[in-house]
Chain A
């Protein structure tokens, strides 16, 4: 079955760029018509959708983060990535990657999630 695994630095300095990767195993990232998503969760707080990338490369971002975020695909490595620039302490969170079910009218149904990776923004 398809599995997702987040990876990246656990500590990022303020004003720098947070870079995370989600590695897809058990299937090709280009196989099918899926949206690949990034979601984050500050400690003790709720979930926040960051953005998504389609198998074909189209992206959508949260309006509140749009100016800071880039999500990209690396098909050669079977990965997709998140870059969040100019981070502050408010970006400290557990970051999840997730895949939708591929059903065209059910793009909010995420049936596969990574375990999450904690990122702390601090000097």
Chain B
């Protein structure tokens, strides 16, 4: 079955740029989505269609893709950005959706 691969953890100091990657064979043809999940809360969409930011999401969050790699970038990460981040996409059929394993972002 289709898989998306993320690093388990990323750590940055406040104000630095955090980059979280997601690898998947279908990403050249299928959009990537990114969800932020803080402890005890439901996930929140932070990036959709590779690089679009929903209203209310800070401008420091951005997304990009290159080939089979999608990247979530948090420019000037804040302590409040500490969370688990999940990439999300579909296989080539478009009917089977998969989350990446998640990346724990530490900002301290």
Give the B-binding residues of A (Cβ under 8 A): 39, 46-49, 52, 60, 62-64, 96, 101, 105-111, 113-116
| 14 further interface pairs, Cβ-Cβ under 8 Å (given A47-B43, A107-B94) | A46-B84, A47-B86, A47-B102, A48-B99, A60-B95, A62-B96, A64-B1, A106-B31, A108-B48, A109-B33, A109-B54, A111-B45, A111-B54, A116-B42
A111 / chain B contacts, CB cutoff of 8 Å = 45, 54
The SS class assigned to the A binding surface is loop
- Whether B95 lies near A109 (C-beta < 8 A) is no
Interface size on B, residues (CB 8 A): 25
Contact of B49 among A49, A106, A116 (CB under 8 A): A106
- Whether A108 lies near B42 (C-beta < 8 A) is no
Contact of A108 among B84, B89, B100, B101 (CB under 8 A): B89
- Whether A63 lies near B1 (C-beta < 8 A) is yes
- Whether A46 lies near B42 (C-beta < 8 A) is no
